Amino acid sequence: ESESESESSSSESEDDDSDASEPDEREEANATRERMRLYERDRMRYYYAIVECDDADVASAVYSQCDGLEFERSSCRLDLRYVPDDQSFEGREVRDVATEVPSDYEPPDFQMKALQHTNVKLSWDDDDPTRTKALRRKLTEDRLKDEDFAAYMGSDSSEEEEEEE
């Protein structure tokens, strides 16, 4: 009897050890997910836009209407700030410039899945959705535009040399 008692107490202590490690593993998994969420959210702070307004009333109206507004379905809210007139952005590469909305503009279907789902997937390795859409589109005469594919096509170095001459 004493052997069976010691075996049962031994197996109970092993069960206790495994139970104790399960919360640690769960806590570590939760902490990892939260770090990934924070990383994905912080990546959104890399982007900013500068809006130039004609006067202070227009700037105030834009600010009051858009500050805190959710961007698309991203779960990210716009964080607007006033920029002093003497602030310089010299030397920074401008990605896009817009003075009006193009008639054929389609906003991206943007979602911040890391903030919306339980299981977080990092987006740094995702394909460019614009490129994927352009390459999967059914090629017809109406829809085929050279400029749509120009950004994704490599150039021949001999063509560049000919153009330079």
Asked if 69 and 135 sit in the same domain, the reply is no
Asked if 32 and 62 sit in the same domain, the reply is yes
Residue where the block lists tokens 């909305």: 101
- 122 band by pLDDT with thresholds 50, 70 and 90: low
Asked if 111 and 163 sit in the same domain, the reply is no
Dig out the tokens for 97 from the structure. 């410039």
CB 77 within 8 A of CB 68: yes
Tell me: pLDDT of 10 over 50. no
Asked if 103 and 160 sit in the same domain, the reply is no
Instruction: Tell me what the pLDDT averaged over the chain comes to.
Output: 74
- Higher pLDDT: 120 or 94? It is 94
Q: How many domains does the chain have?
A: 2
- Higher pLDDT: 148 or 75? It is 75
- 157 band by pLDDT with thresholds 50, 70 and 90: low
| pLDDT at residue number 6 | 47
- Higher pLDDT: 2 or 22? It is 22
Asked if 136 and 81 sit in the same domain, the reply is no
Asked if 84 and 139 sit in the same domain, the reply is no
Asked if 132 and 105 sit in the same domain, the reply is no
Asked if 152 and 71 sit in the same domain, the reply is no
Question: b or e along 48-59 (b: 16 or more beta carbons within 10 Å of the residue's beta carbon)?
Answer: eeeeeeeeeeeb
Asked if 86 and 111 sit in the same domain, the reply is yes
* DSSP annotation of 119: S
The stretch 42-58 carries a mean pLDDT of 84
SS3 21: helix
Lowest average pLDDT, out of 5-19, 55-69, 90-104, goes to: 5-19
- 165 band by pLDDT with thresholds 50, 70 and 90: low
State the pTM of this model: 0.47
Asked if 88 and 165 sit in the same domain, the reply is no
Tell me: pLDDT of 149 over 70. no
| pLDDT at residue number 37 | 79
Asked if 61 and 110 sit in the same domain, the reply is yes
Tell me: pLDDT of 39 over 90. no
- Higher pLDDT: 134 or 12? It is 134
Domain limits for position 164: 127-165
Out of 35-44, 65-74, 139-148, the most confident range is 65-74
